[in-house]
């Protein structure tokens, strides 16, 4: 590398983002938050507070999520990447406190935060050169909108100080680490399974292709489904934790002896991250309080009311995610619910998790098979499976995908940072030629 390289690479993800910069021994990841090299792609606009030189009062990353969970007055913006290529990008949205913000400015503000964190962590100024990751398709089947999506993201990067902006496909970036370790050309199925989507790409990698800057022709197929980690968490919570609060329980016998199942809507909302705060409205709480006679077991209703009145929905969601992670390698996990009622606990077994996730896992595996078929290949022609994304840590999922491609070598990248690391490798090749 040159003596003072001034460039970086950004993985601007739907759920989480990461930044790579040059270091003494090659590219390294920036510490975006204390102890963390990835940061939730989230911005929280406070309803109160004054603008400063950096813009309206906001929180980013984990602080943004915490402000929302704590019920702070304002607006949480997540999944900003999904706005790219839509008509919303130049529109203004209400962010609370009588304020409005354009979606493109929300996106730019987040990129500025990433750039500033890179500078604070040791990146050499002026830090005006950038490699950005992009999906194979921002918008499926609409080339004009797809091009507009990239143009909007590029404009946002220019707006925060990047003069030279290049793009690399995320599945290619994810496979760069594997590519550097092989001695011949191979066909790889990249499985990138995160919090919101499960994306598959069939890519061609090899030592003779490593120095090519344009890798579009090496992407043989791309496909995915909007099912991933947050869906797993919801099913786990419903199958284990929320049974202790009345989900799938029945009311007392009626005159004819029949028993009605307790209404399930409240439980689905409690298990869906972005809907949890909606159950705390005074009208909703009053409605649920009046339903005490719907429950044959009064403890279920009392526990549910404690969750609503003490705003413990996100706490339960976190316990569900923790249990999912605990059983990801097999066995069972105890789930402590004493935050709701002293001594209350339940257990998640691997068998319960398998049953709860079976349909979702089946759809994800089917998407992997379909990707290979779209590439015009048979399963036995896949040389390697490259797993990345936080949800690939779920053993049940990885094993079911691998079973479809028995001849393929299973390779695990960094579940949270392989794309950012690969983009960094590409940036080093591009800017230090």
Do 85 and 208 fall into the same domain? no
| Full domain range(s) for residue 201 | 182-413
How many secondary structure helices (H) and strands (E) does the chain include? 12, 18
Q: Is 72 within a domain?
A: yes
Q: Is 295 within a domain?
A: yes
State residue 1's pLDDT score. 43
Phi-psi region of 2 (alpha: psi -120 to 50; beta: other; left: phi over 0): beta
Do 135 and 186 fall into the same domain? no
CA angle 218, 219, 223 (to 5 degrees): 170
Supply the DSSP symbol for 278: G
Do 20 and 150 fall into the same domain? yes
* DSSP-derived pairing of the beta strands 7-12 and 409-412: unpaired
Low-confidence ranges of the chain (pLDDT < 70): 1-4
* DSSP-derived pairing of the beta strands 409-412 and 384-388: parallel
- Domain harbouring 32, CATH code: 3.30.420.40
State residue 80's pLDDT score. 87
What tokens appear for 135 in the block?
Answer: 């999906």
State residue 4's pLDDT score. 61
Residue-wise DSSP of 98-163: TEEEEHHHHHHHHHHHHHHHHHHTTPPTT--EEEEEE-S-SSTT-HHHHHHHHHHHHHHHHHTT-S
What is the sign, positive or negative, of the torsion defined by CA atoms of 225, 132, 25, 172?
Answer: positive
Q: Which residues contact 181 (CB under 8 A, 6 or more apart)?
A: none
Q: Is 153 within a domain?
A: yes
Do 287 and 408 fall into the same domain? yes
Q: Is 85 within a domain?
A: yes
What is the sign, positive or negative, of the torsion defined by CA atoms of 127, 129, 133, 139?
Answer: positive
Do 80 and 206 fall into the same domain? no
CA–CA separation, 183 and 396 (whole Å): 31
Q: Is 309 within a domain?
A: yes
What tokens appear for 402 in the block?
Answer: 């691998």
Distance, first Cα to last Cα, the chain: 9
What tokens appear for 62 in the block?
Answer: 């984990």
Do 35 and 126 fall into the same domain? yes
Question: In the beta sheet, which residues pair with residue 219?
Answer: 203
Do 35 and 93 fall into the same domain? yes
Do 211 and 71 fall into the same domain? no
Do 186 and 148 fall into the same domain? no
Q: Is 169 within a domain?
A: no
What tokens appear for 196 in the block?
Answer: 């919101």
What tokens appear for 340 in the block?
Answer: 């709701």
Do 130 and 249 fall into the same domain? no
Question: In the beta sheet, which residues pair with residue 177?
Answer: none
Q: Is 50 within a domain?
A: yes
Do 380 and 304 fall into the same domain? yes
CA–CA separation, 138 and 242 (whole Å): 36
CA–CA separation, 360 and 397 (whole Å): 10
SS3 content of the chain, % helix, strand, coil (to 5): 40, 25, 35
Q: In this structure, are residues 79 and 12 in contact, taking their beta carbons and an 8 Å threshold?
A: no
Do 50 and 153 fall into the same domain? yes
CA–CA separation, 321 and 316 (whole Å): 9
Q: Is 418 within a domain?
A: no
State pLDDT tens for residues 94-114.
887 888 899 999 999 999 999
Question: In the beta sheet, which residues pair with residue 418?
Answer: none
Torsions phi, psi for 58 (to 5 deg): -140, 160
State pLDDT tens for residues 198-207.
899 999 999 9
State residue 281's pLDDT score. 92
CA–CA separation, 347 and 273 (whole Å): 21
Total number of domains constituting the chain: 2
């Amino acid at each position: 590398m040159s003596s003072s390289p001034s460039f970086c690479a950004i993985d601007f993800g739907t759920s989480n983002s990461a930044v790579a910069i040059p270091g003494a021994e090659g590219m390294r990841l920036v510490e975006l938050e204390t102890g963390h090299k990835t940061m939730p792609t989230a911005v929280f606009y406070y309803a109160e507070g004054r603008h400063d030189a950096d813009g309206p009062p906001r929180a980013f990353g984990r602080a943004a999520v915490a402000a929302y969970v704590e019920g702070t007055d304002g607006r949480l913006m997540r999944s900003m990447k999904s706005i790219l290529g839509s008509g919303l990008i130049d529109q203004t949205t209400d962010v609370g406190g009588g304020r409005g913000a354009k979606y493109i400015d929300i996106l730019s503000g987040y990129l500025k935060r990433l750039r500033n964190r890179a500078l604070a962590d040791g990146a050499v100024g002026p830090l005006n050169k950038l490699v950005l990751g992009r999906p194979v398709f921002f918008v499926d089947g609409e080339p004009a909108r797809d091009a507009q999506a990239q143009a909007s993201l590029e404009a946002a990067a220019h707006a925060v100080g990047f003069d030279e902006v290049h793009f690399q496909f995320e599945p290619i970036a994810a496979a760069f680490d594997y590519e550097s370790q092989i001695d011949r050309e191979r066909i790889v199925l990249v499985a990138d399974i995160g919090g919101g989507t499960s994306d598959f790409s069939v890519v061609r990698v090899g030592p003779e292709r490593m120095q090519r800057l344009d890798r579009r022709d090496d992407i043989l197929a791309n496909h995915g489904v909007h099912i991933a980690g947050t869906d797993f968490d919801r099913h786990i919570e419903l199958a284990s934790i929320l049974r202790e609060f009345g989900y799938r329980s029945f009311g007392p016998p009626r005159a004819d002896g029949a028993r009605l199942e307790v209404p399930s809507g409240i439980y689905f909302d409690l298990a869906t991250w972005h809907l949890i705060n909606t159950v705390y409205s005074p009208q909703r709480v009053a409605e649920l309080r009046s339903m005490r006679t719907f429950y044959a077991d009064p403890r279920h209703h009392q526990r549910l009311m404690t969750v609503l009145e003490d705003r413990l929905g996100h706490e339960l969601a976190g316990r569900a995610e923790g249990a999912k992670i605990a059983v990801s390698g097999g066995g069972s996990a105890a789930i402590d619910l004493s935050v709701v009622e002293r001594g209350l606990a339940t257990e998640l077994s691997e068998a319960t998790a398998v049953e709860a996730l079976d349909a979702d896992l089946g759809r994800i595996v089917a998407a992997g098979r379909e990707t290979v078929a779209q590439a015009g290949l048979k399963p036995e022609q896949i040389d390697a499976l490259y797993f990345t994304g936080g949800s690939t840590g779920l053993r049940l999922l990885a094993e079911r995908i691998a079973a479809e491609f028995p001849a393929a070598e299973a390779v695990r990248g960094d579940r949270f940072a392989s794309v950012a690391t690969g983009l960094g490798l590409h940036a080093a090749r591009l800017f230090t030629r």
